[in-house]
Chain A
């Protein structure tokens, strides 16, 4: 435990100094080093009296994919939902600690939650398109946030979002048909398009492929890899292979504690914690 905390603090120190450096050199792009987008520090989450997360501190790098792995019930979804304050909608849920997006405190009472959620989009485990047309599904966010001033602009946003989500070719002739009529994999890509349409900075994905077959999964993984160029992505997954395939960094949770976080390769080949090793080699979980 102590050892683990040490490594964590070390990582923290390193990345926060790096963050400061980044702030200083913001004008010069530094391609080889990762900027930090989201900083979480000592996050504790309670559902009523029950504590679900214990002092979680992690940095989410910019323009990269971070994977959250860990056995069921360890708090991955809970942590992900802290980042865009979706936990606010859960009765009795309390979040303590500090989460900063681009240096701005996410839990600052003065912050506009609605705006925050526009900046931090979310894709859910089960595809959840609205019972509206494909077009309306994607146009939903831009309409709410007034991102388009006229119809052509709106159409443009919808088309680009669908293209980025790799769905446009499949649905271009049926934009007016209900989004619920698509296949599961298409629905999930529609949900990704819907999230992209509000141009978020960060996209959170909670097991986006768990309801999909291998082919649809491969498509989404490919898509995530492409999206990395423009977005910061945090993905929860139960599939170690998926984490290894799509992410640059991986964080391993266990019983509400962040055990270890580091470059994906390192987590899978040379984890520093015994629990991580046991998990990634499939000995438990």
Chain B
């Protein structure tokens, strides 16, 4: 109800401010001749200036409102509960909030809880009234000042343009800040992990055996290498499958296929990219794994149903459309004039592709390759299901392995205690993964950009 009121209030101000700016500028226009900007811009400008301070108030409230109410609840709780701290305090606060909201709580409310809930309710009424009043006041005052600025020579159009660009900047900042936030939380939690386990043991350890946090104080061994090895092996197998098939598909689509064939084949291949990875994992587990095992048995090679090979092959299939559609775009960017030049000299199509198209597109293809590798490294579902989850350093791809992503899943499923290295290690692993894919992506983007410049 409260947020609805606020939204309605803001809408009213928006409409009012726009109308004011618009009609004011219209009135100014008639006697003195021309306005610098059309009334639409004056209206927009007044509306923006009217709403901006109100929205700022709202944002502040959204940021600090819950902290404030928490502090208020704690102030109203008996000292002995506050002193307990931790989860007990947390659940007490939760119960008070529920009482205040009117939904009630499980079991009977203690008198002190009921009292605190009552107080919180009053607090909430007062604060929301304050916020509402503050918004109204800010909006009204700024509407007054914004109106006063309206003048024929006011460059409302340019100013709106600038404000719009700030708005767009703010939106893109959301993505950047989120990334930053994720990185920071990874870094801090990983740092906590490294207070339990030394980075040397983590990055260069060859044994992965974290034990469970419940089995005593022994913290286990956290060697990254077996996991990294598994990740690299699966990714390598995947690329081994995906690169030739994907690239040749791209060559066919971009150089040989008639438009009609292309229009059918390309979307069909892209359907592959739309299949959820869990389905691929399932496919690997149920179909590809047993098939590989029996095929291996037929020729006398011991291949386990869940193994690096199974996961790698299926992951490769998953990545084919990724490589083929990226490479297709890149190959099609090679100018027609260049291909004609080669054909005109009497080269065949495949000679042209080998000697002109591929070399010209090589940087772009390498970029696509790196992007695909980073995709393979971060892929989780297929390996969880089909790689066998066995974190040992093994060279044989027919054996089960485990990867960084699988281990993160393992460490974070079930009961966890975020103060133990068993859970915290997930952040260190995540950070490792993030840094790896970050570098691959940066390298890929750099290379692709270099390639683009060549033809502009």
Contacts and interface: CB of A to CB of B under 8 A. Distances in A.
Nearest to B344: A122
Given A130-B356, A131-B359, A131-B360, A114 B340 contact: no
Given A91-B258, A91-B259, A140-B355, A130 B338 contact: yes
A206 B456 CA distance: 23
Contacts of A129: 341
A155 to B, nearest CB: 19
B340 A141 contact: no
B345 A141 contact: yes
B183 interface: no
Nearest to A191: B341
Contacts of A132: 359
Interface string B415-456: 000000000000000000000000000000000000000100
A121 B340 CA distance: 11
A209 interface: no
Interface string B81-122: 000000000000000000000000000000000000000000
A140 B337 contact: no
Interface in A222-236: none
A128 B348 contact: no
Nearest to A197: B345
A89 B340 contact: yes
A131 B345 CA distance: 16
A15 to B, nearest CB: 27
Contacts of B356: 130
B342 interface: yes
Contacts of A117: 343-346
A145 interface: yes
Contacts of B360: 130-131
Nearest to A115: B346
B348 A114 contact: yes
A126 interface: yes
Interface residues of B, number: 20
A191 B337 CA distance: 12
A198 B346 contact: yes
A246 B351 CA distance: 35
B267 interface: no
Interface in B323-370: 335, 337-338, 340-348, 351, 355-356, 359-360
Contacts of B345: 117-118, 121-122, 140-141, 144, 194-195, 198
Contact of A145 (B259, B341, B346, B359): B346
Contacts of B343: 86, 89, 117
- Choose among A86, A126, A144, A145 the residue with the greatest number of B CB atoms under 10 Å from its CB: A144
B337 A114 contact: no
A122 B347 CA distance: 12
A8 to B, nearest CB: 29
A54 interface: no
Contacts of B337: 124, 126, 128
A180 B337 CA distance: 13
Nearest to B356: A130
B258 A124 contact: no
A84 interface: yes
A122 B346 CA distance: 10
A63 B353 CA distance: 34
B341 A144 contact: no
B347 A86 contact: no
Contacts of B346: 114-118, 141, 144-145, 198
A116 B46 CA distance: 72
Interface string B249-261: 0000000001100
A86 B359 contact: no
A84 B348 CA distance: 14
A21 to B, nearest CB: 31
A84 B344 CA distance: 8
A256 to B, nearest CB: 22
Contacts of B340: 86, 89, 122, 124, 128
A280 B340 CA distance: 31
Nearest to A141: B345
B185 to A, nearest CB: 45
Interface in A158-181: 180
Interface of B: 258-259, 335, 337-338, 340-348, 351, 355-356, 359-360, 454
Given A131-B359, A140-B355, 9 more contacts: A117-B345, A118-B345, A122-B340, A122-B345, A128-B337, A130-B342, A131-B360, A140-B342, A140-B345
6 closest pairs, A vs B, by CB? A118-B346, A122-B344, A117-B346, A128-B337, A141-B345, A128-B341
Interface of A: 84, 86, 89, 91, 114-118, 121-122, 124, 126, 128-132, 140-141, 144-145, 180, 191, 194-195, 198
30 contacts: A84-B344, A91-B258, A114-B347, A114-B348, A116-B346, A117-B345, A117-B346, A118-B345, A118-B346, A121-B344, A122-B340, A124-B337, A124-B340, A126-B337, A128-B337, A130-B342, A131-B338, A131-B359, A131-B360, A131-B454, A132-B359, A140-B345, A140-B355, A141-B346, A144-B347, A180-B454, A191-B341, A194-B341, A194-B345, A195-B344
